[in-house]
Structure 1
């Protein structure tokens, strides 16, 4: 069985596992982790654009929020508000790729654990669900990353699959209260309409769906490109370059003629019939 087939089966197995047990209670711990990564992407985007993050928090209903003051440039807000879903797609794809790479799995998981711990200490407050989630999972990643390579690879693949799936699956939330999602926040900002708890204007809803569609397409494209690169066969491993056999010793005209007269090359392999006929005609 080829490496490509094994990778595909492995990915599909994790995907079916998560989809089947998505509503199970123990999946809540994994959902909290994925939501935390989503919010951390917002926070990192804020810092990269010169903004200030006040706090990152997540809730038991699979929601979260990042309270931040983005940079002064208008493009900063666009980057920050889009970073949740787009950033999660990129992160999930990168983790999935590293899990399947067969190299540095322990180091990758350890670094991920350290970064998660750092982001948790930096952006969340003690006592918040985001704080406890980040500390526990960050410590788990760090310990396993130090101890076991196989377990590290399995965690990277499963986590990458989960984040990638969630970044697409969670877009279904857009069919509900879309004005309360990141797309809705973006729509309010673009239309320069103050947010309110009442019924949103139809213009906000329509623009929110348009934004959500764009994010969906981008997220799916990122996932597709990641899977394409991850599952691509490495032909250099399957078909290694073989050494070229050469005739031992000096090849004299008599030796060459002897081989050719018998329809063989200098390695004793049959020559093409056209080449044999050409030699006979010249002779």
Structure 2
């Protein structure tokens, strides 16, 4: 199997990713996946928060709710560009997070580092910006779980966990784009509607742009991640759990 540039795809990686996507889709409504859905919502709200800080604004608080909704309340500097960047960073940011998980697990071999970095980010977000007890408990509890996984899971287990998180977040982003941006009722109260109120661009156009950018990022990073490893062993490919990395 080859990409358009002639690089070969690793069939094992492709098959494993498709299996995990299928597992996530099949068990989508299982209560066991509820914490993962909240984690992706937190990625979305963290995207808004990071963009706010980069734009020179300040974040007041971030909140999550048990019904998988979330909010990032922040103060933005004056200017349309800052508003466009911050409102766009939710959907695109969560897509980028899922895409980077794929790349880090398959190509960069940063499996354990990814869990540690996620642990630290969640803890920092919870301590600095959690707007209520539920959000703080989720951030700190999930940070603890990821930190313990990074410390105690074997290499193969860490890789499988990262890959499932990447596959699930990719699936959630796709479903989120569909339900939030291409449902007229939902789009009327989404980030796209907020931007439509401050720009001459209608909400459906923002929805189309964010969907294209998000799916393009996921596709591009997946293509990089699923290439076969080089013969000399640089960027060794992902393997099923074993004693060999």
- TM-score normalised by the shorter chain: which range applies? 0.7 to 0.9
Cα deviation for residue 126 of structure 1 reads 4.7
Higher RCO structure, 1 or 2 (CA under 8 Å, sep 6+):
2
Counterpart CA distance in 2 for 1:104 and 1:63 is 30
Q: What residue in structure 2 maps to residue 131 of structure 1?
A: 136
Deviation per CA, 1:93-137: give whole Å up to 9, x if none.
Answer: 11121122362322221122112211221111351x322211111
Counterpart CA distance in 2 for 1:164 and 1:57 is 22
**When the two structures are aligned, how many residues end up with a matched partner?**
222
The unaligned stretches of length 5 or more in structure 1 are: 192-203, 239-283
Structure with bigger gyration radius: 1
2:198 matches 1:210: no
Where do residues 28-107 of structure 1 align in structure 2 (5 Å cutoff)?
28-101=34-107, 103-107=109-113
The unaligned stretches of length 5 or more in structure 2 are: 1-7, 234-245
Query: Is contact 2:177–2:211 with CA below 8 Å preserved after alignment?
Result: yes
Where do residues 211-226 of structure 1 align in structure 2 (5 Å cutoff)?
211-226=206-221
RMSD: 1.9
Counterpart CA distance in 2 for 1:82 and 1:36 is 15
Counterpart CA distance in 2 for 1:118 and 1:55 is 12
Deviation per CA, 1:5-47: give whole Å up to 9, x if none.
Answer: 1111111111011111112222222111110111011111101
Counterpart CA distance in 2 for 1:30 and 1:112 is 13
Counterpart CA distance in 1 for 2:217 and 2:173 is 10
Three-state SS of the structure 1 residue aligned to 2:74 is: strand
Q: So what's the TM-score if we normalise by structure 1?
A: 0.74
2:226 matches 1:231: yes
Counterpart CA distance in 1 for 2:69 and 2:198 is 21
